[in-house]
Amino acid sequence: MTRIRRGYRTRRRRKKIRLFASSFRGAHSRLTRTIIQQKIRALVSSYRGRERQKRTFRRLWVARINAVIRDNIVSYSYSRLINNLYKRQLLLNRKILSQIAILNRNCLYMISNDILK
């Protein structure tokens, strides 16, 4: 029987994994098994971070809108503003509302007063 030369596909796969982990420290960038584990861990962490970032930005937008709205009218709040926006079918998301609140408070006051009527 002739000798079979092996390992081309495996080498190619491992090389690709090593390129991903080249910036990791110690065995995390040298040993194939630990590289694979760290790659999975890194990808999970990055996904979790992206989801957390969406949450934190939404919280920031809500806090900004609420702070500006409460300055204008004493008994008015963020939840009432959003509820009235939905009733009037105004499609303004929280990101845009918070930018309006920061850059042009009078515009947000006009929107909220117009909705109340």
Which two three-digit tokens encode residue 64? 């900004």
Q: What is the pTM of this model?
A: 0.76
pLDDT of residue 46: 97
User: 71-105: per-residue pLDDT in tens?
Assistant: 877 678 899 999 999 999 988 899 999 999 999 99
pLDDT of residue 56: 98
Q: Which residue, 54, 58, 49, is CA-closest to 78? A: 58
pLDDT of residue 74: 63
Report the length, in residues, of the chain. 117
Token pair 């702070």 in the structure block, residue: 67
pLDDT classification of 113: cutoffs 50, 70, 90: confident
Q: What is the CA radius of gyration of the chain?
A: 27
User: 34-64: per-residue pLDDT in tens?
Assistant: 999 999 999 999 999 999 999 999 999 999 9
Q: Are 79 and 117 in contact (CB under 8 A)?
A: no
